[in-house]
Amino acid sequence: MNQAHIERSSDGSLQVSGELTFATVTALNGKAAALFAQPSGELVIDLAGVSRADSAGLALLIEWLRQAGHQGATLRFSHMPAQLHSIAAASYLDTVLPVSV
């Protein structure tokens, strides 16, 4: 079974690991809801631990942008895997996602 995890690290960023796919994003979004309930300012989501992603993973990142906006926070994605970046570029969403190295 494919799995994905999200947890807050000691520096306050959110660490995502595993697969961001159709099989995992619904459960992962549910786990992330509590973490988005209290952000303020900028929240960094570190994607270095993502081993695989598909278009559902990209949709999840966009959903997280929406959720953060409703909480008055901004997001920044760090260490976006090349596979996910390619999907975003093919969809012309690479300019919408706030990505840093």
* Per-residue model confidence as pLDDT tens digits over 6-53: 999 998 889 999 999 999 999 999 988 877 776 568 889 999 999 999
pTM here?
0.91
* Per-residue model confidence as pLDDT tens digits over 61-95: 999 999 888 888 889 999 999 999 999 999 999 88
The one-letter amino acid at 18:
G
Look at the chain and count its residues: 101
CA-based nearest residue to 13, from 98, 77, 57: 77
